[in-house]
Structure formats: structure tokens, C-alpha cells
Structure 1
Amino acid sequence: MTFWIIATAIAILSAAPLALALLRARGIVADSASAAEIEMKVYRDQLKEVDRDAARGVISEEDAKRARVEVSRRLLEADKARETKAKTTTAAPIWAAGALGTVLVVSGLWLYYDLGQPKREDLPLSYRLKMAEEIRANRPSQAEIEQTRPSSPPIQEPDERLMTLVGQLRTALETRPDDLQGHILLARNEAVIGNYDRAYAAQQEVIRIKGPGATADDYADLADMMILAAGGYVSPEAEEALSKALSRDPQNGTAIYYSGMMFAQNGRPDMTFKLWRPLLNSSAADDPWVPPVRAQIEAVAQAAGVRYTLPPAPAADGLRGPTQEDIDATAEMTPEERQDMIRGMVDGLSARLANEGGSPEEWGRLISSLAMLGDTERARAIWNEAQVIFGPSPEALAVVRQGAERAGLVE
């Protein structure tokens, strides 16, 4: 009822200015006619005054005649103007203003009744939160959604050799159900070829074998595989895995990202924004959840009623050194193998700078690394290229020049 009162009041307020305009136009016409009558009465009084002055001898007969002619001319012009305005200006009747207002109000209410949803209930915040909880509690299970929705595409197109190896691994694990490394390997490779349902089944075995030692990443990986198997849908089973991941590590980025996605799918964009905003602020540029969060967070903020401007994307840290695993791997290498590993890393840096560009520090490091590997000519060519690219910026060029100095290309 409150809505209809407000809607009717708005319709009346919208029609009122038009009705007032019609009434004002009628008043203007009446005022114009009244002004013309007053002007003509003044001219008639002036004629009488001229006659009295002539009779008393105040003015000569010749002056009286000229005055009568001038006043009579003005009187005729005023009368003619009054008649012309009366013919060309027609005031709208009073009932027209009322009819216009009634038509506008009635037509507006009819349009809303025909095109709107007059019987829909009000949705206060408490009611919407209750609806979101009901949707979340009654949403389809993992098995139900897998029957109705295709899974996500595979990470890479599987080749025949990989398919054969995965099949052999499945067979081998049938007789070794407690082989932890085997199930870890199976889960990863099933996911690679797009068999996400088999992948999360293998990951469940990993968690079973580890028991209390299962980590947050183990549960986050399980949820990830379930969500991919459901085509991006976060099922109750996947939510349970996410909860276990966050109970072990509240800062697990994968679990936070998917938890936010779960809330967005169930009508709680406010919760999604509360999870994604700090996650985005604390993440590195190359974290896997950063691109999807950046692509969706502004729309999520708008749905949550929050004014939010996406900050500039952070630059990827291209100067990170080798991991501890890389260092450990080189301990057992021959000098030739170690040289090949270094050359591979240098070639990777060179390809990235050629395709995507990079910082002056990266260019300087590439030049000095090539010289260290004995590829002086290639180092010189890249130094020449860097001078063209960074020439407009003396500060950046000075950084690259340090790498060229280490390479012995400049003094």
C-alpha cells in the first residue's frame, strides 16, 4: 500500500506542472484583455480632457483638433490590437487542465500495472539475506550438477602417449591403493587431460592417505578439481573442501577466491567483495586468481552497492631468482648440464623480453648473462636494441648500461 501511495503522489506531482501551465496561460490571456481595455479607457478620457480644455479656451481649436486626431489614432490601434489578440489567442478551458492531469496519472498507473510487477513483495535486506541462505542451502550437489553441466575444458589437449601413461597409472594403483605419490601424480595428470571427476577422486585418495597431515593446499586442490568438473559451479561438497582448507590456512588464495565465487553464485556479492578485495591487495601479479578477480571485482562491487575503482595491475616480478628446488637440482648436475640449465633460463628471459617487454634491470641482466655464456655477438645486438628502446629515458638506459659494462661491451 505504501508503494501505491508514493507512486500516485509522484504521478500527481508530475502532472501538476502541466496543469498549472494551462491555467497560467488562461490567466495570461485574461490579463492581456484587461490591459487593452484599460489602455482604451485612458485614450477615451484623454479625448474628453481635450474637449474640456478647448471649451475653456486653454488650448486653441487648431491644437485641440490635432490632439483629437492623435488620441483617436492611438485608440483605434489599441482596439485593433485587442481584437487581433482575441482572435489568435484561445485560452484552454479549466476542465482541460484537470483532464490532462487525470490522463497522466491514470495512464502512468496503467503502464506500471501492465509492464511492472505490482504483486511482487518488497525485498528488505533481511528478507534478501534469508533468500540467499535458502538458495545456498538448497543448491544442487556435485553429482547433480555434473549431470546437467559440462565440465571446464582441459588445461591442454591430451596426446595419445599421455593418455596411455595415465591409463597405466590407474591400473597400477588398483593394486596399490595406499601409494601416495602415485595418487598425487594421477590427480595432477587427470586434471591436465580434463578428466576432472577422476582427478578429484584421486585427490580424495591423497587426502585419505595423508589423514590428519593433509594440508590446506590439498583441500584447495580438491575443491579446484570439483569446481572444474562442475563447469565453474561451487557445490556444497566443494564448499566443504574450501572450509577445511581455510581452517588450516586462512590466507590460502585459492580457497579465498573460490569462496568468494561461491557467495557470488548464491546472491551475496557483498561477501564476495569482502573476500576478494583484501585478496587482490595482498596477491602477487602472477598469482593465478588475480586475472579472474580483476575481471569481476568491479561488477561484484556494484552489485554489493560499493563504489570501487580497480587499482592499476601490479607489474610482474621478473627478477626473482631460482627457487630452492632449482638450486638443489643443480647440485647433482655435471658442469655441462648446469650450463645447459642456465642457457635455458637465459633463453626464456630473452623470449619474454622480445614478446612482452620488460624492465631495464631485466635487459641489463640478459646482456650480462649472454656475455657470461660466451654469446658476445648476441649480447651486443641486444645492447644496441636496448639503446633504441630506452634512449628517450636516460635513467632507464643507465640501468641497462650497467649490464653492458659487466659484459665488457662498454667502458
Structure 2
Amino acid sequence: MKADYLIQRNGYWQYHRRVPKAYVGLGGKSSKFIVISTKIAVADDRAGSKAARVAARLNEQQEARWRSLASGTPDKQRWQDAVSIARSHGLDYLTPVEAAQRQIEELLARIETLKVGERRTDVAVVDAVLGAVDKPRVMLSDLFGEYEKTQQTPLSKMSPNQKRKWTSAKKRAVEILIEQRGDKALQDITRADAVAYADFWEGRTIAEGISPSSANKNISHIGGMIRAVDKRLKLGLDHVFGGTRLEGGRDGNRSPFTVEHIRSVILAPGALDGLNDEAKDVVYIVMETGCRPSEIVNLSKSRIKLGAEIPFIRVEAEGRLLKTEHSERDIPLVGMALDAMKRHPAGFPRYFDNGDNLSATLMKHFKKAKLLPKVSEDTPLKKRPKYGVYSFRHSLKDRLKAVECPEELTDELIGHATGKPKYGDGYGLQLKAKYLQSIALAPACISKK
């Protein structure tokens, strides 16, 4: 709140603001200043902190009035302003249709509220109290832009690559819905539209082999965006996409590698020789820590603590959004992970904020070198295990379970929710290192180097 928006007068804090030139004379008012008491005595709020918060709300309401009175105000903004003004007068906003359906007594009571002060001469207040602004019609082609306005906080924490992927996925989901059902207003989207969209994706999973998880992401993108825009604009929509996700959508989970497979196949002499040095060492670190590959390649030099008494890496939000709030953690470096991290004390510049490139590189090599476990063709398709880089994470969890590592400690190492409040350093580096060291991989082909 600017200093000239809050002044002292007659022992009370007052909201005081010069009317911007663009709004002078609106509603038939010629005054150059707006003065409204915050009703907070200076003696009770010497610093003016409480009064500043009240003045901020008054300022928001005043700007809403000005925008509503100004010509060419966008429908969505007029609607939001009308809702805000109605609530500031203790009323729920009614659209013209809703107002016409109410009892005459309620409408008369609303008219009575306009008799206070100069409300009856304030067009914006009259429109808000009596319901003269209809709900805006947001088209599907505008959905992403409106949704983006609701996500400014998480977007501010994303890296450039995260923003690119986030934007591309959401926009493409909307484009496909428009291709299938046309560019409709959100209010006109029906359950039939939602079911048809889900049927389209189910058809692709059958005909093209797209995973149910990928299909469900697109369905969830649409439902999530509509809910967020509905909440922001207070449109009162029916959430027709609820319950339309495809069954079997968890098939993206990867099965764990067995310890024997890791030692005898993946760590066999020469098995990883086709990879560049950064990609190869990421594999070693993921094996021993259970980290997500993206967590490794986005480490900065300041979060690689090789000089500590117990060397460790710190996974935390730093210029990018973590997958979950539980992902933030400290992980000791043992065995091959420690050796690999020493070779990259400043991080992995080749794959920084480019984890997709790393994943593609690793999977291409693993398939070409036949490093993935063989799956019998006689196994039903739905029951076939799926393997990938994430299999190392699941493998580490199984290995920790085998040495009777406490489940909460395992979840803390992996970066999963424990279901309990976290206090201090959790289990601490020493205990974490003890269990990780007990399962450290030390194949002969590596230890001799």
C-alpha cells in the first residue's frame, strides 16, 4: 500500500487516494479524491499495519468500481468486479437470470442496501447488488490463458524446461478437445463431451498403443484447468470430466531391477561403455541413492557436499519446481555414487534442466545393449513388467527393505510422503549412510578401477 493511500484524520486511519485521470468524472462524481475511514483508531494501531490491510481491501474494491464504470471493460473483469463488490456489501452475487427467479422480498431487501450513503448513484454498486452483469463465456480456445493466470505461483518456481513441458502438455490437451468437440464455451460443455473425449483417448490406447497413463494425463489436464478457472471466475460449472479417467492408468509404474540383474548385466564389464561420462555416472548415482535422474542432473555445485564429514547431496527447490514437497531431502553418498559424484563436483552441465534428453539417451542405450530384463511373450500384456531408469528407485526400496531399514527412513531417502510431520533433520545423515552403505553395490568391474 502506497503511503498516500493511508492518512491520519481525526484520530483514525483513512484510505485516501487521488482518482486516476482515466476515471475522473465516472458515475457523475467530480471529486478528485476518494476518502474512506478504515474505522481503526491511530491509538490502537500506531504503525498502521492493521489499517494498511483494510486500506488494501478498500483500494481493491475501489479499483473494481472504476473498472466497471469505465467503457470497454472486459466481460470477465466486469464479472469478477461485480462479485467482489457484492461481497463487500455482504451479499452473494446474483446473475440477471438468478435475480429474476428470487422472491420479491429478497430483491426489495437488496434495493434497501442501496439507500445507504451514495450507493444508489454508484453504477458499479447498483450493478453488483441487483445483478446486472452476466457470467462471462470463456471459450475452450481461451482456457489455457485463463488457467495460466491461476498458476502464477507454481510457474514462478519452474525452470525454463519445466515451463515449456507444462505449457505444451496443457495446450495440446485443449487443442485435441477442440478438434474433437469444437470450440465451445465452458458453460456449454456437457457430460457427453467429456465421455467422448475419454472415448477418443481409449481408442488411441487400443489402436496406437498409447498408455492409459498418458491418456489419463490429458483428461486430467482438461478437468484440472476447468476447475481452476471455474474457481477463479466463480462460474458455478458442473465438473463433467469427473470419473472419466481410463482404467489401468497406473501402467507407467516401473518394476524393480533385481540386485543380481544389476550386478551381472547392467554392471557387467563394458555394459555401459556406449554412454557418455555424465550419463554413465548418473546411472551409478541413481543406483546407490534412489534419486530421480532429474534430481541428479539439476544439482548445482552448492548442493554437492563432497567436503562434509559424511559426503551428501541436497535435493531442494532451486530455480525449478520439485515433483513433490517431500522430495526436498539430504542423501548420503556411498559406494559408486560417491566415486561418480567426485568426478562431477560441479554437477552435470550437459543435462542440466534437460532430463528428458538424459532419459532418452539412457533408454536408447539400455535397449540397444539389451540391458533390460527379458519378458516372456507368453505373459499377458497387462501383467508384463515394465522397466526403465526409474526401476533403480524401486530396486533401492526393495534392497532397503531386505536389510530391515525402517519404512519411514526409506520413504525419507526416496522422497515419498511418510504420513507424519517432519521434525528437524529427520533420521539424519549418519543413520541414512549406515543403511545405504549396507546395500552399496561394489561389483568387481567397478571397484578395481
TM-score range relative to shorter protein: under 0.3
Calculate the TM-score normalised by the size of structure 2.
0.24
- Which one has a bigger Cα radius of gyration? 1
The one of the two structures with greater contact order (alpha-carbon pairs below 8 A, sep at least 6) is 2
Between Structure 1 and Structure 2, the one with more helix by share is: 1
Between Structure 1 and Structure 2, the one with more strand by share is: 2
Calculate the TM-score normalised by the size of structure 1.
0.26
